[in-house]
Amino acid sequence: MNNRYIGALILAPLIIFIFLGGEYLKYIVMILSLLGMYEFYKVSRKKNYKPIGLVGYILCIVYYLNMGSDFLSSFNIYILIATIFLLLCIPVVYTTYNVIDVALTIFGFLYVAVFFSFIVFIDNKTYGQYLVWIIFICSWGCDTSAYYSGRILGKGGKHKLCPKVSPNKTIEGSIGGLLGSTIGCTIYGYAISRYGVPIQLHHYAIIGVLCGVFGQFGDLIASSIKRFVGAKDYSSLIPGHGGILDRFDSILFVSVVTFYYITFILQL
């Protein structure tokens, strides 16, 4: 069996946690965040940087345990500022670390743990048990459509999308991914409108387009980090997919885009 399909089977139990929502979803997302942060810190060390992983992991756990219903309604911003304050003192006391190590420690937390947490914040919203699925439908729809349209229409790789960052991605695959995200989100929006979710259909199409664009940015950003440090994958945790950040790179960005649209445009 193709390793991509084996990896998909390994990830399948995540669907159960999305259905359960609430505390179950929050803690599985926290575990994914910790694994993703570990991968980020590990590849950073390939360039001889020394992110202070223990501090990042503790900050992640405290962040999730202290999580309110919304990012701004919790006390996490105070915890974050206090952590940065103390981290900046470390290079003075322990000169083996420098300000770049401190910056990478905080960046790993923001990029992985905070971006992942928007899945939980969406789940906590009104109609969140329906809206949280938008993240995965858009991301996985984009990835799957991009993969197959790239293989079929972009065969030979004549029209490269971003060759200096990810040489295997094609413009044909990118367009296919955008269509997959948009069509998938629109169909899903129509389906949940029958369950009383009062959002007009065109909003789902817009969300699908935004997620299709920025989900691919998330993928390319993860690739640019790997290219910079000289790593092929973040880890080998998931057969055919690499690590947590290899598989969820687009989801990190899609969750942020979806949260912002639902919060500030739809005002839910």
Determine the pLDDT at residue 164. 85
Question: What is the distance between the alpha carbons of residues 251 and 214, in angstroms, rounded to a whole number?
Answer: 10
Given a cut of 70, whether residue 75 has pLDDT beyond it is: no
- Residue 159 CB contacts under 8 Å (≥ 6 apart), including other chains: 170, 171, 172
Largest CA distance in the chain: 61
Question: What is the distance between the alpha carbons of residues 194 and 32, in angstroms, rounded to a whole number?
Answer: 32
Alpha helices, DSSP H, located in the chain: 3-11, 14-20, 22-44, 53-65, 76-87, 90-93, 99-108, 115-123, 128-152, 171-193, 201-229, 244-260
What is the DSSP secondary-structure string of 119-143?
HHHHHTSTTHHHHHHHHHHHHHHHH
Least confident of 2-6, 101-105, 114-118, 240-244: 2-6
Residue 74 Cα to chain centre, angstroms:
21
Given a cut of 60, whether residue 1 has pLDDT beyond it is: no
Phi (first) and psi of residue 69, to 5 degrees: -75, -20
Mean pLDDT of 61-82: 80
* pLDDT tier, 107 (very low <50, low <70, confident <90, very high otherwise): very high
Contact indicator for 124, 70 with CB cutoff of 8 Å: yes
What's the whole-model pTM score? 0.92
DSSP-derived secondary structure letter, 265: I
Is the backbone of residue 162 left (phi > 0), alpha (psi -120 to 50) or beta? beta
Determine the pLDDT at residue 166. 86
> Other CB atoms closer than 10 Å to residue 265's CB: what's the count?
11
Name the 3-class secondary structure at 65.
Answer: helix
Determine the pLDDT at residue 157. 64
Two tokens, residue 6: 């084996």
